[in-house]
Amino acid sequence: MTNTDYWEEIKSIACEVEQAYQEDDTIDIYDTVWEHVNGHQWVIYYSYNLEVLQHSDNPENMIEEFGGASAGDILKSQGLSSLHSELSFWAMKQDILDNINN
């Protein structure tokens, strides 16, 4: 994954969310972004996680929202790969939210 690949995907998802909101302004943008990111291959497959964190503008978003203790808890209970996945999820989520114009 290149930096360009990452940001094209982020902007594409942001555009999809914006379109969905324009068609139905009762949708919750945050929930819609959550659904897109939660099932995204870059979060699901560990091999992409570090690349997401490398290209993201928000690699520490999870720690900023929940504190370092949550990262430590995930690391202790689920391992390093799960921590990378969680960090990637929160980074992508925020990158997409930052690119939504609504």
pLDDT tens sequence across 1-48 = 999 999 999 999 999 999 999 999 999 999 999 999 999 999 999 999
Specify the pLDDT at position 76: 73
Task: Report pLDDT for 88.
Answer: 95
**Confidence (pLDDT) at 69:** 66
Q: Is the pTM of this model over 0.95?
A: no
Confidence category of residue 67, pLDDT binned at 50, 70, 90: low
Burial of 49 (0-12, 13-18, 19+ CB in 10 A): buried
- Whether the per-residue pLDDT at 66 is higher than 90: the answer is no
Q: Where are the domains of the chain?
A: 3-98
Listed residue (100, 51, 5) closest to 87, CA to CA: 51
